[in-house]
Amino acid sequence: MTVFDGIAARIIETPRLAVNILERTADKVKTPAEQTVVFVHGNVSSALFWQEIMEDLPGDIRAIAVDLRGFGGSETKPVDATRGLRDFSDDLHATLEALGLGAVHLVGWSMGGGVVMQYALEHPVLSLTLQAPVSPYGFGGTRRDGSRLTDDDAGCGGGGANSDFVQRLRDGDTTTDAATSPRSVFRASYVSAGYVTGHEDTWVESMLTTATAAGNYPGDSVASENWPGFGAGAVGVLNTMAPQYFDVSGIVDLPTKPPILWVHGTADAIVSDASFFDLNQLGKAGLIPDWPGEEIAPPQPMVSQTRDVLNAYRDAGGRATELTIEGVGHAPHLERPGIVRRALLQVMGYIASTTGPQPPTEAIILKSED
């Protein structure tokens, strides 16, 4: 693994599996919980993606990034999708216990946002930062209120993965020879067109750590009588977010509600109200034939669903801040690290807001050049 200066990797043995973590070498093990932040990556990535923001945090904060099972340097074990994202959240809890940590600040990106929301349903946390998170109702196959479109989650899960992309992950492809190569997917889907970095090789390396063994990425599928002809299977990464298995909208009812920061970009190609990773959106756009129409197979309004749940969280007494960054893609922490860093430090209570007392829910829209 390519670890940056000042970052070190080590394996944590837990009763569930061996977990790789990244830490800053100068961080103190006895840092108090209120100054400890744990980063959880998303699908087809690893802890390597967090290194820049870890480096940029103040020196008296302890920063840890965890590799989920089947990603990065962590042990590869099958993922039971019928538990939703609980295999991952249980692994995270086992890791924090092995590190002697209780409630900490959690940051989750994309699928990792779902992992930390699931974690918060079962364990105390100090704050949640959700970066471009999967909808609280899963990925694909739901109406705005979270109700499922079909009983078998048609069009969701492992059957929706691009087989050539999966093969190129297996092959360790680092080229731009095809639109389905990991590097091409990173450029087209993870970030906006204006993103430039000297670390792209590391981000691609991170994507290529994705385990594609049976039971990992992408997962299985079942035949369906509903369009487009397949439904979610029972094992593997993509099936964990099928709505029959995953629903964390219950965070609204948490008796103790940690502050939540939601960060997302308006140019996100993966999580949006018109995501081109949603097969119903592809059908609507004419890219998959025989789409049955809006009444039967509407695209999932992912961002609107998250906003609705966080508004309900506010109405139930919680505090949530929505930070929208114009022109930014699926990885705001890469494209606008200073903005994300400051917002994270605010939700952690490390620094005060510069705008005075905050209402329970606040919507902030920043232009990409801010």
Rounded-to-integer distance, Cα 33 and Cα 27, Å? 13
**pTM assigned to the model:** 0.95
pLDDT per position as a tens digit, 142-195: 999 999 999 999 999 999 999 999 999 999 999 999 999 999 999 999 999 989
Say if residue 363's pLDDT is above 80: no
Tell me if 66 sits within 8 A of 108, measured CB to CB: no
Place of tokens 């964990």: 240
Q: What is residue 129's three-state secondary structure?
A: strand
Q: How far apart are the first and last CA of the chain?
A: 33
The 10s digit of each residue's pLDDT in 187-228 is 999 999 989 999 999 999 999 999 999 999 999 999 999 999
Whole-number CA gyration radius for the chain: 19
Whether 261 and 323 have beta carbons less than 8 Å apart is answered as yes
Q: Are 349 and 34 in contact (CB under 8 A)?
A: yes
What's the pLDDT tens digit per position in 106-140?
999 999 999 999 999 999 999 999 999 999 999 99
Which strand ranges, in their side-by-side order, compose the sheet holding 62-66?
A: 7-13, 18-24, 62-66, 36-40, 105-109, 127-131, 260-265, 320-325, 361-366
Q: State the DSSP code for 189.
A: I
pLDDT of residue 352: 74
- Cβ proximity of 261 and 128 under 8 Å: yes
**How far is 42 from 100, CA to CA, in rounded Å?**
24
